[in-house]
């Protein structure tokens, strides 16, 4: 497969960017910044909320030189959503014909959510849905995109600062993000010789809809959340440099570093007792 770098997409190959969870927050910002900085023919916008994707598509259309946006409303917590994603890739590759092909320039696995509260008090169905999106879907999308990755491709998996240590009142979410970090590092090692870059983005609190969703409306804004514009810009710079892990703020870097020296059970117990997270009942 021919090399396709940052500035060109020739050789009959169709070059695409894929962003999941693109309807809001960091996903929306990833799509906008990638549309401004990467040269591709299309950017695929994946999320459940069609109206939000349409708004984003119109905004991308106003960016000079931006790729054409393609809206793919999908529920990645469902097998049907994952099957639709795989089918879309296969159909696009088939349409290119024997003399063409499909090249995934950048895949951003941003789709995901969390739930606040002790494990015993949180809805099991919601927890399992979270595992499907944060773990199962991320894994499936990386695998499905792999035949279309080549030298110059980038995979950005959004993990979390929660990946570095178990968290009481955030148990399942932290575990899913620990998986995302571990998997991303191993995946990066396996595809490095092919010139494919894989980065795990590990932000702390970011000013998005995350807290409102995680708390079922009990907390509308995250405490001390960073600007998603800055977090995404840092993440893309880290990916450009081939860094396997991206942690932006000095405070976040310190916490990630110190997690190596604090007992994992101790940290989980401490956060359970002293870092309560508000949550309203699931209706």
| Secondary structure of residue 263 in the 3-state scheme | coil
Place of tokens 């991303």: 184
Tens of pLDDT, residue by residue over 99-114, are 669 999 999 999 999 9
Tens of pLDDT, residue by residue over 48-85, are 999 999 999 999 999 999 999 999 999 999 999 999 99
Q: Give the span between the Cα atoms of 123 and 217, in whole angstroms.
A: 15
Q: Are 125 and 174 in contact (CB under 8 A)?
A: no
The DSSP string of 112-149 is -----S-GGGS-HHHHHHHHIIIIIIHHHHHHHHGGG-
| In the chain, alpha helices (H) | 25-37, 50-61, 79-96, 124-131, 138-145, 171-191, 210-214, 228-240, 250-258, 264-274
DSSP state of 152: T
Place of tokens 């405490």: 223
Rounded to an integer, the average pLDDT of 2-16 is: 54
Tens of pLDDT, residue by residue over 213-232, are 765 665 667 778 899 999 99
Domain 13-248+255-274 fold? Rossmann fold (3.40.50)
Burial classification of residue 283, based on how many CB atoms lie within 10 Å of its CB (0-12 exposed, 13-18 middle, 19 or more buried): exposed
* 20 beta partners: 46
């Amino acid at each position: 497969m021919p090399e396709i770098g940052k500035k060109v997409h020739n050789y009959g190959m169709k070059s695409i960017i894929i962003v999941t969870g693109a309807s809001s927050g960091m996903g929306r910002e990833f799509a906008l910044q990638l549309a401004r900085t990467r040269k591709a023919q299309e950017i695929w916008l994946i999320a459940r909320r069609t109206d939000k994707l349409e708004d984003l598509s119109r905004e991308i259309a106003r960016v000079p030189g931006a790729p054409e946006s393609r809206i793919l409303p999908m529920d990645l917590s469902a097998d049907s959503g994952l099957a639709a994603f795989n089918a879309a890739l296969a159909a696009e590759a088939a349409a290119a014909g024997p003399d063409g092909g499909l090249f995934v320039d950048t895949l951003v696995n941003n789709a995901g959510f969390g739930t606040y509260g002790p494990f015993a008090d949180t809805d099991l169905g919601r927890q399992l849905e979270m595992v499907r999106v944060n773990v199962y879907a991320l894994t499936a999308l990386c695998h499905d995109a792999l035949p279309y990755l080549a030298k110059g491709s980038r995979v950005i998996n959004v993990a979390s600062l929660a990946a570095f240590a178990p968290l009481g009142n955030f148990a399942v979410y932290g575990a899913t993000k620990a998986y995302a970090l571990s998997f991303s590092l191993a995946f990066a090692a396996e595809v490095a010789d092919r010139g494919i870059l894989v980065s795990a983005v590990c932000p702390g609190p970011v000013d998005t809809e995350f807290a409102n969703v995680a708390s079922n409306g009990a907390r509308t804004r995250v405490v001390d959340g960073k600007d998603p514009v800055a977090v995404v810009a840092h993440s893309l710079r880290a990916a450009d440099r081939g860094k396997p892990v991206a942690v932006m703020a000095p405070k976040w870097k310190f916490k990630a570093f110190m997690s190596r020296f604090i007992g994992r059970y101790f940290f989980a117990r401490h956060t359970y007792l002293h870092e309560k997270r508000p949550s309203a009942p699931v209706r």
